[in-house]
Each structure stands twice: as structure tokens, then as C-alpha cells.
Chain A
Amino acid sequence: MAKGKSSEYKKMIDTQYRDLMKHCQVHMEKIEKDLPEPREDFLAVLKERGVSRRDFIKWTSAMTAALMLPPMFRPMVAKAAENFSRLPIIWLHFAECTGCSEAFLRSSYPNVDNILLETISLEYHETLMAASGYQAEQNLEKAVKDFSGKFICVIEGGIPRGLHGKYLTLGPKGKTGIEVAKEVAKKAAAVLCIGTCSSFGGVQAASPNPTDAVSVKKAIGVSTVNIAGCPPNAVNFTGTLLHYLMFGALPALDNLGRPIWAYGKRIHDYCERRPHFDASEFVEEWGDQGALKGWCLYKMGCKGPYTYANCGKVRFNDGISWPIMAGHGCIGCTEADFWDTMAPYEKPLPDKIYGGGEKTVDNIGIALTGVAVAGVAAHAVASGIRHKGE
């Protein structure tokens, strides 16, 4: 009975994936017709950069798995990668540190993801382009006009709303961030937010938020795909774009707009130090025996249990390491308003202090319980006197 059911289930899944495959093939053909020729031959670029065909095939397997697709999609992922530079991209910067761009571009051993991002058809990127002033403005207008409805708008940085958005003005015409974002996002096929600033506001939105900086979604009211993180992993960005190239649609999102394939589980669920958590092996202070043995960083303020991200699985810098592996707890940078909700970063959450004092919620709790016990004791004595002899 159970066997029959599982085979039926398998058949159903098989047909679903076959349909998806057909959809994918049709879409890829359409893209090859619609979008401009790739600027560079991706396979030649890979060869030039010392990535062998074998490495590339390995990468397609990993990416297919990361996108939660079965192995039969590997050729499609490879094809999408070859067509990657067909996709016109306009990259806007608002209130942020450009750290996300830096993280994507400056890896010492570029892997396929990084090379993909380098061959990307960037129509406009304030940090990288040669043009400046009015010329830059012209480039942006031209790109928006030429690829209207086809380009992907990538936004890095939150948008300040204070003083009618005048805390952030850009370019020779002194446009505010809100104006630029509205103009470009209106014509975009999709808006991708890179990093926590554009996704949720980021550091400039931390309390007391003097410039009233908010996420792109809140500032201009468009639905966005949020690739959260400070910085996010290049894999999460390329994966989302590959998904868009393959199926013509954005991946499934969670309730904060993050792709579920990348942000579906918590750091805590994937963590390599998790067994030490369950075994009650915690680092008590920096550099102690536990730290040397690679024990759990929960008591050192790791916010892995409250953070949805795949850092532990895909890791950073060509898969070399990631924060918890390096010995510091997670600070929860993929979550909304993490500057406020995850503080203090090197202590557990209940150690948050109040006001100008050094009082945590536990100090207050103990004090209140003490007062309550003293109060009932005093009340008992007073009652004894008042109701004496009854």
C-alpha cells in the first residue's frame, strides 16, 4: 500500500518536473530571441580565468541543488549561465556602504559565481562606470528607455524619507533617492534588493533613525525580492537571477520577501557547531578551552537561532569559511531591523540593557520578585496584627 502510494507520488512529481522543464526550455528560447546577444562568450571567459569545464559542470550541480531542483535541470542551469550576460541590469546605490558590491567583486579566488557577476550586462553601476555627472545621468536614462520592461533593477541601500527624501540626493540634477528609485523601478521587469539596507533599511534605519531611512519596498511601494545579508552571499544573488532566466519568474518568497530556497531555514539548523549546542558545550569567554575546541557560541551572543539564512551551507569566499566557522557568533544580519532586535551582539538576547543603567530584564525580574516577596511578608505581618484574635 505504502509502496504503491510512493510510486504514485513519484510519478506525479516526475510529471510536474517534466512540465517545469518544458516551460523552462520554451522560456530560454524566448530569451535567446528577445534579449541582446551575450557580450562575451561565457565559456571562453571561464577558460581565460582558469576555470575548467569540469569545475563549471561541478558548479552547475551545486547550483541546481541549491535552487532545490532535480539533477535533470543541470543543462538548463548551464545554459542560463551562458545566457547570463544577456540580462540587462541597472544597479542603483542609495544610503549604504557599497559593501555588497565590494563583496561580490573583490574575491581573491573568483569562482563561477563571481565570474558570472563580472560578465553581467551592467547598464548602469555608479561605483564601476567610467561616466560621471550629466553623462552618467544620460546613461541611466538611455538604459531605462532601451530596455524598458526587460531589465532587472538591482538596488543597494536604503532610502531616507526625512525632509521629503532630501537626506539623500544624487547626481548633477540633485534628484532624491525616492525619485530615482521610482523612475527606474517603474520600468523594471523586477526589483532585486541587495543587502539588508535596501531590504529592510539597514544600519541607517537603526534606532533613532534620524533620516527616516526605510526599505525600498516601504519607500516606493513596489514588491521586491530581498537578498538580505550584510553582505549577502553572491550565490543567493546569482541563484535568484538564474531562476529568473530559467523560468521567467522570481523564486518563491517568504513573508519578508526573501527567496525560500536560500532563506528557508535558520543558521541554527545548518550550523556545524549545533551538536555542541545540544551537548551543552558552550564557549564561556573569548579564547577559552571551549573556543579552542570549536564549541557552540550561543552564550557569546550567537543569533543563529533567530536568523534565516544559508550561510553555513554555501559559505563565503569560495566556500572557505563563514562567521560562525571563524569563531564569532551570528549577528543576524539577514533579519529585519537586526541592528535593534539582535543587540547586544556578543551577549545573549536577554542581556539587553535598559535606559542609561546596566539593568537587564533578569535584573529587573529578580528585583520585582524580591519586592513582591518582601511585600507579601510585610502584608502577612500586618494582617497578623490587624486580624488578631479572630
Chain B
Amino acid sequence: MEKKFTSEKEWSVAMRINHWAMAISIFILIATGFCIAEPFTIASGETVDKFLMGNIRYAHILFGVFLVFLFLWRIYLAFFSRFHADWKDFFAWTDIKTTIDQIKFYLLIKKEGPEYKTLYGPMQSLAYTGLMFMVFVIVITGLILMGAGYHAGFTAIAYKILRPVEKIMGGLSVVRYVHHIFTWFFILFIVAHIYMAFWYDAILKKGTVSSMISGNIFKKLK
């Protein structure tokens, strides 16, 4: 049988580990975050035996700090990855004509998407730039909220640096509110992101979903 597809490496190991670690962290952070915003009450038992809220907050802070370092690692990869430093690809949306064609493709007006040489499509790059901004905001507000309660080590240093940011934002309550709002942006991103991954897989048959695990994407042979 004639070979129709070829397999090509798209994602480095570091990028894939970073992706899934971030995904797991974000899911845990959203779940624990809502548990902190609207906590459960355990009515039975003695106070001394219970520590649910403490444990939830511990998990939230632990994965929050993970997210900080994963974010820093992702920024590092964007500039210094030996496989493919993709910082330029985040600006694929600046090519207006391709962007409009891509939107037409997404809205099913056109049957074929435009060709682009960048790693991300124009709309994809816009979404990921937004995601990076969201992670940045949620990490900064998270560090402020964490630093307000702990006064030693990494947290204390981060808080000392970020205290002016807290003042500019208008106090801890505003910081907390922004933190809460951005959680919803993450949820909306996740819905779109997962759907688009499957949609690409179904329409273009490039193996988009598995590429984030295997690292390889299929290309049609011409």
C-alpha cells in the first residue's frame, strides 16, 4: 500500500512534560480554588480532628507554586528551547490576511484553512498569548494572596516585591477578586482548547490530540 502520511516531530519532550504538568496543576488549582471560595462545612466531629480547609489550601498553594515554576520554565522554553524556540510563533496573529482566512475556516465558510509556516495558527497564537497573560496574572495575584499569610522563605521575598502591586490594585480584596475572575477565563479556555484539539484531529486528520503525548504530528505526502 502506498504511504500517504509521514510522521514529523512537533513537540519536544520538555514541551510535552510542561504541557501536561501545567494541565494537571490547572485542573487541581481550579477544583481546590472553588473549594476555597465556597468551602464545605464539616459539622460532625471535634475541631481538633479536622483539617480539611487547611489541606485544601495546602494543595492549592503547592500546585500554585508548581504553576509559577512551570510558567517560568515555559517562558524559558519559548526563548531558549534547543528543539524549537517558539516565541515568534506567538505573534502569528499579526498576519491579518491569514487570520481572517483562519476565522473563515473556523466558521465553516471556507473548506480549507490557510497555509502558515509558524508553529501555531493565527487564532491559536492569539489564544496562547492570552493564556500566558492569564497565567501571569493568576500567578502574581496568587503569590500576593499567599504571601499575605506566610512570612518566611520564598513567599516572603515574593510578597515584599509584590506589595506595591497589591497597593496599585487596591488591596487584598481586589487582588482576590481578580484571582477569582481569572479562574473563569481558564475554564473558558479549557473548553475551547480541548474542543479545538479534537476538531483539528477530526477535520485535518493530523493526530493533533496524540501529538501532545507522542510528540509527532502527521503530514500528508504530496
Question: Which residues of A approach B to under 8 Å, CB–CB?
Answer: 254-256, 266, 268-269, 275-282, 284, 289-290, 295, 298-299, 303, 305-307, 332, 335-338, 341-342, 348-350, 352, 361-362, 364-365, 368-369, 372-373, 376, 379-380, 382-383, 386-387, 390
Q: Shortest Cβ distance from B160 into chain A, in angstroms?
A: 11
In the complex, which residue of chain B has the Cβ closest to the Cβ of A390?
Answer: B203
Q: Indicate if B220 sits at the interface (CB-CB under 8 A).
A: no
Known: A350-B177, A386-B111. A372 touches B41 (CB 8 A): no
Q: Indicate if B100 sits at the interface (CB-CB under 8 A).
A: no
Specify which of B38, B50, B173, B192 lies most central, judged by the most chain A CB atoms within 10 Å of its CB: B173
C-alpha gap A306/B149 in the complex (Å): 10
Known: A255-B167, A282-B39. A373 touches B191 (CB 8 A): yes
Which residues of the partner chain B approach A368 to less than 8 Å between Cβ atoms? 184, 188
| B177 & A352 in contact (Cβ 8 Å cutoff) | yes
Chain B residues 102-116 with CB under 8 Å of chain A are 108, 111
Known: A256-B167, A278-B53, A281-B50. A376 touches B192 (CB 8 A): yes
Could you list 29 A-B pairs, sorted by A, with CB under 8 Å?
A255-B164, A278-B53, A279-B48, A280-B39, A289-B43, A299-B39, A305-B148, A305-B149, A305-B176, A306-B171, A335-B172, A336-B170, A338-B171, A341-B170, A341-B173, A349-B180, A350-B37, A350-B180, A361-B177, A376-B191, A379-B195, A379-B199, A380-B199, A383-B199, A383-B202, A386-B111, A387-B108, A387-B111, A387-B202
C-alpha gap A275/B54 in the complex (Å): 9
Which residues of the partner chain B approach A341 to less than 8 Å between Cβ atoms? 170-171, 173-174
Known: A306-B171, A368-B188. A280 touches B177 (CB 8 A): no
Q: Indicate if B163 sits at the interface (CB-CB under 8 A).
A: yes
C-alpha gap A284/B42 in the complex (Å): 11
| B199 & A369 in contact (Cβ 8 Å cutoff) | no
Specify which of A280, A289, A380 lies most central, judged by the most chain B CB atoms within 10 Å of its CB: A280
| B173 & A342 in contact (Cβ 8 Å cutoff) | yes
Question: Across chains A and B, which 4 residue pairs bring their CB atoms closest together, nearest first?
Answer: A365-B184, A306-B172, A278-B54, A279-B50
Known: A266-B149, A376-B192, A382-B108. A335 touches B171 (CB 8 A): yes
C-alpha gap A348/B39 in the complex (Å): 11
Which residues of the partner chain A approach B184 to less than 8 Å between Cβ atoms? 361-362, 364-365, 368-369
C-alpha gap A53/B149 in the complex (Å): 39
C-alpha gap A305/B50 in the complex (Å): 20
| A349 & B53 in contact (Cβ 8 Å cutoff) | no
| Residue from B38, B40, B195 within 8 A of A380 (CB atoms) | B195
Q: Shortest Cβ distance from A49 into chain B, in angstroms?
A: 39
Q: Shortest Cβ distance from A333 into chain B, in angstroms?
A: 12
Q: Shortest Cβ distance from A319 into chain B, in angstroms?
A: 25
Q: Shortest Cβ distance from A150 into chain B, in angstroms?
A: 32
Q: Indicate if B31 sits at the interface (CB-CB under 8 A).
A: no
Which residues of the partner chain B approach A349 to less than 8 Å between Cβ atoms? 173, 176-177, 180
